[in-house]
């Protein structure tokens, strides 16, 4: 149970920070000030997990643990200092892929660990994985990543399902999470590269 909680927390921080960076990169397109960078980083970073927590009626994870917000602000600052430049669109796409893969697992994991039935836990993984990016694109009024021609929801679904299936079979949470993450990321990477 403690391994589970630690896995959950580490994945949560990582997914929040990389998603936060994509939010800041989206703001960067508009040449905003550092505060708007931070705002976009925070909304994108914690958006998916916030929806998950509201839906499963858990306390919203970042409200009582502001360190998640600090992770978003650090990501925003990193983008502010180093970011932009030519490869920005591409960097955004790949960070989004990493965050999506991490969140697909962490969303399903938290739901499953709170006793949500498997199908709903998988949906929670998909929503957590996709909602931050959707929110970022809606707020930045950019073409939604959801509507791109390559696969986006499918990798999230595959990752969450892989995790939920292995978890139901009593595989070690850490291993199930790793497998789910790998499935989601490789499918999305394939979609980006060959889609």
Chain residues binding a second copy by CB under 8 A are 30, 32-33, 35-36, 38-39, 42, 50, 54-57, 59-60, 62-64, 66, 69-70, 116-117, 119-120, 123-124, 126, 130, 134, 138-141, 143-144, 146-147, 151-154, 157
**Nearer of residues 6 and 138 to a second copy, judged by Cβ:** 138
Separation CA 162–CA 120 (nearest Å)? 14
Least CB distance to a second copy at residue 175 (A): 25
The secondary structure of residue 103, as a DSSP letter, is H
Q: Report how far apart, in Å, the C-alpha atoms of 168 and of each of 56, 115, 122, 136, 164 are.
A: 19, 11, 12, 33, 6
Least CB distance to a second copy at residue 146 (A): 6
**Nearer of residues 78 and 139 to a second copy, judged by Cβ:** 139
Least CB distance to a second copy at residue 36 (A): 5
Residue 89 CA neighbour count, 13 Å, CB half? 5
By residue count, the chain amounts to: 195
Residue 42 CA neighbour count, 13 Å, CB half? 15
**Nearer of residues 10 and 139 to a second copy, judged by Cβ:** 139
């Amino acid at each position: 149970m403690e391994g589970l909680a630690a896995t959950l927390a580490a994945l949560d921080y990582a997914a929040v920070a990389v998603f936060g960076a994509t939010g800041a990169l989206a703001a960067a397109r508009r040449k905003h000030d550092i505060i708007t960078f931070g705002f976009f980083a925070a909304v994108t970073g914690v958006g998916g997990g916030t929806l998950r927590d509201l839906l499963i009626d858990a306390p919203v994870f970042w409200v009582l643990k502001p360190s998640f917000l600090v992770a978003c602000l650090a990501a925003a600052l990193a983008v502010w200092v180093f970011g932009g430049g030519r490869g920005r669109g591409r960097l955004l796409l790949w960070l989004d892929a990493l965050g999506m893969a991490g969140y697909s697992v962490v969303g399903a994991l938290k739901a499953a660990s709170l006793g949500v039935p498997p199908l709903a836990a998988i949906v929670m993984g998909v929503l957590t994985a996709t909602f931050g990016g959707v929110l970022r694109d809606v707020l930045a009024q950019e073409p939604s990543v959801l509507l791109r021609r390559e696969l986006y929801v499918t990798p999230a679904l595959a990752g969450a399902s892989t995790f939920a299936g292995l978890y139901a079979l009593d595989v070690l949470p850490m291993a199930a999470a790793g497998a789910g993450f790998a499935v989601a990321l490789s499918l999305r990477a394939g979609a980006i590269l060959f889609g």
